[in-house]
Structure formats: C-alpha cells, structure tokens
Amino acid sequence: MKLTTLDDWLSGVGASTDPIRGRRVFVRADLNVPLEAGKIVDDTRLRASLGTVKRLCAAGARVILASHLGRPRGERVASLSLAPIAPRLAELSGLPVAFAPDSVGKAVAARANALAEGEVLLLENLRFHPGETANEPEFSRSLASLADLYVNDAFGTAHRAHASTAGMVEHVSSAAAGDLMLNEIRNLNAIVEPERPLLCLLGGAKVSDKLGVLRNLAERADLLAIGGAMAYTFLAARNEAVGDSLVEAQRIDDARALIDRAEADRCKLLLPTDHVVSQSLDGTGETKIVQTIPDGWRGVDIGPETAARYADAARTARTIFWNGPMGIFEVEPFSKGTQEVAQAVAQSPATSVVGGGDSLAAVNRLGIGDRIGHLSTGGGASLEFVQGLRLPGLAALEH
C-alpha cells in the first residue's frame, strides 16, 4: 500500500515551492469522544490527533479540522455538538483553535479563508448533514472547497465511504495519510503478517457482529480465544447447557461451522470451561461460579479457570490481537475475567494490539495502556483491516 505521507509533504518545506506554508489543509480526524452534560469524559482520541495537527501548524499550514460525533443521523443534535472540543484542543495543543458552527457554507468558507498560518478551525459535527454518511457528491465538493490539501488521520472511520473520508478526496489537489493513520496501519500489519504463535482474543455480545473476522482469524491464528456473550452461542453449538445466557439461535450453525473450520486449519479454539453466572445483570443479585450453567441463570463473565487459561495463552504468544471484553466488565462483579486477560496481555512479551471501545475502556480503567504495544482507535476499522478487506478511506488515499 503506497500512500502519500506528511513526511513527503514536509520534505519540501522551506523550498521556493513550499507545499504547506499558507495552504488550507483539511484534516479529517477522529474526535468522537464521550460527552456527559457537555463535558468531555475521555480525551484519549483528542490527544492522539494532536501530532498531525501540530506538525502541519508548525509548517505554516492553515488547518481546517473536521470530525463526526455520535450518530445524529443528518440532524442537528445539541448534545452532539463539537463545540466543547475546541477549547480542550486548544488547551492540549497550545494552538489557537476556533470553532465554526457548521461544516459547510459561505460563512464557514469565509472563516477558513481568514485563517492565519498555524491557526486551526474546528468544524461542527459533519454528521449533522445527511450528505456526509450518504457520500453525496455536492456535500463532498462543498467540503473540498474549504481546502487546498487533504489529510485523513481518522483510522476509526476509514472503513466508511463517507464524504469526508472518501468522496471529497478526488476534489483536492493532493491527499495524504496522517501520522495516526500510518501508525495504525503499521501496527495492524503486525497482525496481518504476525510473528507466531498468534493469539486472537475476541469478546462481545453477538457472533453476528464479528462473524467475518471470526472466520478469517480461524484461518490465520494459532489460538482463538472467545469470551463475552457470544461464547454461549458457540457452547450451544456444541450442545452444552447455557441456561438463560444470550444465544443467537440463528447463528448456531455458523458457530458450528466455524468450530469445524478452526479444527481443519489447525487453529486451537479456546472456549470458556467455567462461568460467572447471575440471575440479574446489574450486579446486585447473587453470583456464583459454575462449569455447567443451570436454567434460570445467565453467564456474565468467564470464570477464573477460563481466565487463567486465556492468560497463559497470552504469556506464551508472540503476537496478540484483542477485541471485545470477556464479560459485562462495566459491572464490577462481572469484570474480573476481562481484568485478568488485560493484565496478561500487558505483561506478555508479545507484540500486542488492543482495539474496540470496550477493550480500550478496560485497559484505561486498569491504567495499563502504556504496557500494551498498540491501542487501536478503530474498532470496526481494525477488524476489517485484519481481515484483509479494502477500506474506502485508505483506497481514496491510494488514488
């Protein structure tokens, strides 16, 4: 994959035909941070986006910064405004960051044109316009008209063919991948072409959400460890008792086929052998550890025996990819399995990549992020990338 990079542009800075200084550069970032009552709860993604913005500003660019926030579905939703993001970006970066109350239009264009070198203009939530997710040509051209150059630094949306990730690229004179984007590609390539043994830890609620990646990794991985609620669909496929645990009945045949595929591809499939079960999901009811889940009880976490097996696999792996919690980790009594797996990944000498919002939240809650090889900002995008699928945001940059 050959992409233009910031280094390619910056190598010409200071020349008579300086490619950056004074140019309007549109940066598609991932500023989709959690907000509560207008306050930023976790600014990890903001910090991750600063490197590219600061490099461009230092080179004299006039930066137009754009992102989505949540799923407003083409309508203005006050609680999903990016307005609270601008002052925090300014505080973190030390740069002047202004805010535009829209993402297209004459007023926005005027503010973009008035930017001085080294200044940043943050646009309002792109998804307030239905043309963003629909990748409408007119909206794409309107975004592109704000800038001379384009940078995509939002790996988390690279698997979406939206106006800001794909459609507008053909209307600018040059496009490049940002530093965060390149870092994601470089680290995820370690999963695509791994040092073995490769351990893949997958959790989450539904098999249907990750069926494609499960099939793909069953062919590539040496060990595939499954946790979370989707494990019960696999156990049901093996005719094991799962009580009242969440099971996707329509995916049992798929799970059975995947078990057979893993065996044929000599991938060792690890499934829970003991379980934390409860009759309530809020953590207030009785819990117990069982090997066979009785009727009326529901699996809410992998049990200690299973957690120890998964942790042992992490310690002996040379490459680890983890996406999805092992249980309902946000409820304290059901979090121990995810915590033990997270600690084992952090302690492992393996090359490790952790992706997905819940997995990252677990790592951050434990304060062990600095001991993980790479924390991927892209949940769905990272899953598609490790499957070898072509991401529209990257394909647009290749052009």
Catalytic residue numbers, as ranges: 45, 206, 357, 380
Q: Where are the alpha helices (DSSP H) in the chain?
A: 6-10, 44-58, 85-93, 106-113, 130-134, 137-144, 179-192, 211-220, 230-237, 252-264, 304-316, 336-347, 357-366, 379-386, 392-398
Compute CA 329 distance to the chain's CA centroid, rounded to the nearest angstrom.
Answer: 18
Q: 397: closest CA among 230, 178, 210?
A: 178
Degrees to nearest 5, angle at CA 89 with 84 and 91:
105
* Alpha carbon distance, N-terminus to C-terminus of the chain: 11
Degrees to nearest 5, angle at CA 155 with 119 and 357:
110
Give the C-alpha separation, 169 to 147, whole Å: 11
Of the CA atoms within 13 Å of residue 79, those in its CB half-sphere come to 7
Give the C-alpha separation, 204 to 86, whole Å: 33
Compute CA 53 distance to the chain's CA centroid, rounded to the nearest angstrom.
Answer: 20
Q: 188: closest CA among 392, 332, 378?
A: 378
Task: Return the residue matching tokens 């805010």.
Answer: 99
Give the C-alpha separation, 93 to 110, whole Å: 24
Q: What single string gives the DSSP state of each residue in 164-206?
A: TTTGGGGGSSEEEE-HHHHHHHHHHHHHHSPPSSEEEEE-SS-
The residue type of 81 is S
Tell which phi-psi region holds residue 213, choosing left (phi > 0), alpha (psi between -120 and 50) or beta.
Answer: alpha
Give the C-alpha separation, 74 to 70, whole Å: 11
Residue pair 127/102 in contact (Cβ under 8 Å)? The answer is no
